[in-house]
A and B are shown apart, each in its own frame.
Chain A
Amino acid sequence: MRDLSARLSRLLIAMSAWLVPSSARERFRQEWDGELFHRANDLNGRDALRRSAGAVPHAVVLLTSEWRWDTMFQDLHYALRTLIARPLFVLAAASTLAIGIGANTALFSILDAVILRPLPYPEPSRLVAVFESHLALGGTNDGPAPGNVIDWNTQSTTLEGIAAWWVESTTLMGDDAVDTVEVPSAKVTADFFPVLGVEPLIGRTFIPDEVEGEPRIAVVGYDLWMRRFGGDRAVVGRDVRFKNEVWRIIGVMPTGFRTPGTLPGEVQLWKPWDLEMGYGSMPDRARDHRFLRSAARIAEASSVADAQAEMDVIADAIAAEHPKTNEGWGVSLVPLRESLIGDTRTAFFVLLGAVGFVLLLACANVTSLLLVRASGRTREMAVRTALGASRLRLSRQLFLESVTLAAIGGAAGVVLSRIAVTALVRFAPAGIPRIEDTALDGRVFLFGLCATLASGLLAGIGPAFQGSTAIPSHSLKNGVGAVSSERRRRQLRTVIVTGEVAVAIMLLVGAGLFLQSFSRVLGVSLGFDPENLLVVRMRLDGKVYGGGGADGYYRRFLEEIRALPGVVSAGGTTGLPMDALDIDFERPYWRDGEPRPDGGGTGVQVRMATDGYFEAMRIPLLRGREVDSRDDRDKPRVAIVNETMAEQSWPGESAVGKRLFIDYQNYETVYEVVGVIGDTRFYGHKNASRRAVYIPHAQNPYLPLNIVIRANGNPQALAPAIRERALDLDPSQPVHSIQTMAALMGGHVGRDRFAALLMTAFASMAVLLATIGVYSIVAFSVSQRRRELGLRMALGARSADVERLVLKGGLRIAATGGIIGLVGALLGSRYLESLLFGVSATDPLTLGAASATLAVTVLAACYLPARRAARVDPTETLRYE
């Protein structure tokens, strides 16, 4: 013990001594030795060690007392002068750093907007999204049911309020068709604005018991207020007329106010919604119809965990009271930010890690360059040391040079990142939340500055330490003595370049995995043909088309559309594949002859479809028939099921002719299965099909409908004609939106494409940097060894031998780095697992391909210097001897 302490304290003093300027170092060491030795007998080991700890601050004081600001500026001046004298070197080093810093800053600015920046509400950390989840049914989070929200709100003490809302669209009538617009709107409970904590700019928000009546009450968004009313303050509180509808505008929200889950300023109209009034009369559906969007604010004194614990108790009590609807259902509170960001987080951190490695490689290359330069400056350093320059002064000098280089690179990098951000945001897939907020602001600048300083220090630390240790007596003697520090530099560079190869191969593996995953996603059969499809969204006014009128309207509209030139087929549905906006809900069902299940039961997705829908989508009909024009309200109810439903409900038999009940609207209606269609990847490429049943739209007309049109050419060309037909049919019912199916699905494949694209870009940068690293070290060693190589050839070595010798040197680095990199890739790949589809994170093919790619590039990088070495002329090189 005593021995160990003594050794530790000696080590501490030796290390501190290294910090002390050389002029005072010997005295420093002696002073501490003297004291410790003198007291060796009356101090125990621990005390001696504790006392030795004082050597560190002691050394720091001695070190900093030599730091003088006036000489610092002298050094900076000198650093700038030496750099200006080497423009090519500066260009090479600074542009390398610019790429690294630029890529990092760009990605950080996106990460900052998407993930790091808080939500635009006061005290956002107290906001949670509220879901209901059923463990036995898979534990996914569903929107809560109105009846449950009402009960939670009255019982909870840890939540200040629970808001619920539903995003839809509203038609604002104008004097003519041009004036008539659809605006994204939301029905919100009275708690909505207080929970989010945003005050209206003018007027007030909703109070409890306020409902959508006559006149219609609304809070409007800033943009709508400006557009429709020219920003007139007097409009607030007054009744406004939109053709034959009267609206009372009670408040205006500030610009950019954001309904969670939508873009800032997207929703421009909020309507009051009283859950009690809307659902109080239908107790069962009110608890069973889980479709709301909901958020709550945690009370001041509580935490998320408190609130979760309380909600668990409340949910259990409700389930005990209403087992039929709530058995097994619990409440889950998710921080609002997390629920909005979702799975984007992991992908971004993986990408940020990758781009961080690119910067590391850039730094390594600059270090390597600086070390090469140091070889040419040994004499300069030796002379300065001999003239009395301290090590601190010399390393500060070298550091200033590398930091200046980094500053140039950083400035260029920030400019580059501006360009990169614009490009990234443009190519980013739809559905990355908040990406449109990306901006080069103070935080991003600060990040760029830190990246710059860090890379300056990182790139400079090796050369500064190494360069300042020149021993004058050796180096000044030109030749022999310089060899040892030369060798050390070469070793350092070899280690660095080996590391570069390792990192490059890791990134290559990552890129390979993302690319493979992406191609697997594209290879998935969707079950329908998304090419040449146009999607037209509509929502009919319930006052005109309620009570079955929607059926007549859509029949006529579809007939008109089918008559248009260029239309192959057309049909409508309430639920489109891969569409976040759709009405898609799951209801319990049971087969004819079975008792009605209590509680949850097995669920099936229920959708409406018109005739022609499956044909337009090219969803294959496997058995029986499709929806056709005979299916109307007077006929017995029929259903068309998908393959999953048919196989799981009637395994081994034909589903056609079978009957089932669906707990939907009522329990008594029996549906006869008349057809079976193929499965579709309804929830995205990566998600398996679920049980689904389609009910003829005519038998259950819905006001909103997505009309799918198959064109025999560019579907977008049909859009104007379709808009026109809709206005001909009823000028008060404009189409809501028209887009191609490909655009609607873009967001789904887009994420995988985006990740693959970025990862490939980063890996390419990494390979390029590593190749440059290998090339420069091999080339430099060839130029250093000209004499040796010439001698070898003079002694009989053939060109091929020399070539092989040089190649071997490069390949040794590549092999060592490659093995380290592959091990690193295997260890790190588990972080990628959750982001991949259809490919294992340890896929041997990818590992092999990455190794091969790197081997070929490194070989190419070594080839040039090897050729040059083989062409060394022995007579010429030996003449210098």
Chain B
Amino acid sequence: MKRLGQAQLKVLEAIASGTGYGFDIMDQTALASGSVYPALAKLEKSGLLRSRWESAVVARRDKRPPRRYYEITAAGHDAIADALAEARSLARSLARTVKESS
């Protein structure tokens, strides 16, 4: 499976923690909209996210268009776990290198 970029990983993590709307994800990750939205589109296309629309009833009651809500899939959770494992192995090897060279 393709490795996830930094931005995609951050976005995925924010959604896993329960932040589901685009602009909220921007706030939480401190990424610009030009990074967040392409990441969302790519993640959804590769099946790590799915999206649904906020209830039309609620939106109509508030007199505004419905918002799109993203949530993580099982594959998305796996991808986070993979990324974590990879980061750990990288951290271990880095630690070893630092110890050997000091």
On A, residues with C-beta under 8 Å from B are 27, 30-31, 33-35, 37-39, 50-58, 60-62, 65
Contact = CB atoms under 8 A, between A and B. Distances in A.
Given A34-B67, A57-B34, 15 more contacts: A30-B65, A30-B68, A31-B22, A31-B67, A34-B59, A34-B65, A35-B22, A38-B21, A53-B34, A54-B35, A54-B36, A58-B34, A58-B40, A60-B38, A65-B41
Given A34-B66, A35-B21, A38-B67, A51 B38 contact: no
Interface in B7-62: 21-23, 26, 32-38, 40-42, 45, 53-54, 59
17 contacts: A31-B68, A34-B59, A34-B64, A35-B67, A38-B64, A50-B33, A53-B34, A54-B32, A54-B34, A54-B36, A57-B34, A57-B37, A58-B40, A60-B38, A61-B37, A61-B41, A62-B41
Contacts of A65: 41-42, 45
A55 B66 contact: no
Contacts of B33: 50-55, 58
A61 B26 CA distance: 18
A34 B68 contact: yes
A374 B23 CA distance: 43
Nearest to A60: B38
A39 B37 contact: no
B76 to A, nearest CB: 18
Nearest to A38: B67
Contact of A58 (B41, B45, B53, B64): B41
Nearest to B62: A38
Contact of A39 (B23, B36, B41, B54): B23
Contacts of B34: 53-54, 56-58
A9 B25 CA distance: 20
Given A50-B33, A51-B26, A37 B38 contact: no
B45 to A, nearest CB: 6
Interface of B: 21-23, 26, 32-38, 40-42, 45, 53-54, 59, 64-68
A20 to B, nearest CB: 10
A699 B40 CA distance: 96
A7 to B, nearest CB: 17
A664 to B, nearest CB: 77
Most chain B CB within a 10 A radius of its CB, from A30, A35, A39, A53: A35
Contacts of A58: 33-34, 37-38, 40-41
A54 B65 CA distance: 19
A5 to B, nearest CB: 15
Contacts of A57: 34-35, 37-38
B23 A51 contact: yes
A56 B37 CA distance: 9
Give 4 nearest A-B pairs by CB, closest first.
A54-B33, A58-B37, A34-B67, A61-B38
Contacts of A51: 23, 26, 33
A8 B34 CA distance: 17
Nearest to B68: A31
Most chain A CB within a 10 A radius of its CB, from B37, B38, B42: B37
B37 to A, nearest CB: 4
Contacts of A54: 32-38
Given A35-B23, A38-B23, A61-B42, A55 B68 contact: no
A783 to B, nearest CB: 47
A37 B64 contact: yes
Nearest to B21: A35
B58 to A, nearest CB: 11
B74 to A, nearest CB: 22
Contacts of A37: 64-65
Contacts of A53: 32-34
B55 to A, nearest CB: 12
Nearest to A33: B65
A45 to B, nearest CB: 15
A54 B39 CA distance: 11
A55 B40 CA distance: 12
B24 to A, nearest CB: 9
Most chain A CB within a 10 A radius of its CB, from B21, B40, B65, B66: B65
Nearest to B46: A65
A811 to B, nearest CB: 52
Given A31-B22, A35-B21, A39-B23, A55 B37 contact: yes
A565 to B, nearest CB: 89
Nearest to B31: A54
Contacts of B40: 58
A30 B42 contact: no
A35 B26 CA distance: 11
Most chain A CB within a 10 A radius of its CB, from B34, B42, B45: B34
A592 to B, nearest CB: 86
Most chain B CB within a 10 A radius of its CB, from A33, A37, A38, A53: A38
A30 B54 CA distance: 11
Contacts of A34: 54, 59, 64-68
Contacts of B26: 51
A50 B37 CA distance: 13
A53 B32 CA distance: 9
Most chain A CB within a 10 A radius of its CB, from B41, B42, B53: B41
B34 to A, nearest CB: 4
A306 to B, nearest CB: 44
Contacts of B67: 31, 34-35, 38
A65 B36 CA distance: 16
Contacts of B42: 61, 65
B33 to A, nearest CB: 3
Contacts of A62: 41
Contacts of B36: 54
A73 to B, nearest CB: 22
Nearest to B64: A37
A30 B69 CA distance: 12
Contacts of B68: 27, 30-31, 34-35
A31 B70 CA distance: 11
A30 B22 CA distance: 12
Contacts of B21: 35, 38
A240 to B, nearest CB: 68
Nearest to A16: B37
Nearest to A29: B65
A53 B53 CA distance: 22
A56 B53 CA distance: 22
Contacts of B38: 54, 57-58, 60-61
Nearest to A62: B41
A31 B22 CA distance: 9
A56 B36 CA distance: 12
A62 B53 CA distance: 18
A183 B64 CA distance: 91
Contacts of A56: 34
Contacts of A31: 22, 67-68
A30 B67 CA distance: 8
Contacts of A35: 21-23, 67-68
A31 B40 CA distance: 12
A61 B42 CA distance: 7
Nearest to B27: A39
Contacts of B23: 35, 38-39, 51
Contacts of A27: 68
A34 B22 CA distance: 10
B86 to A, nearest CB: 24
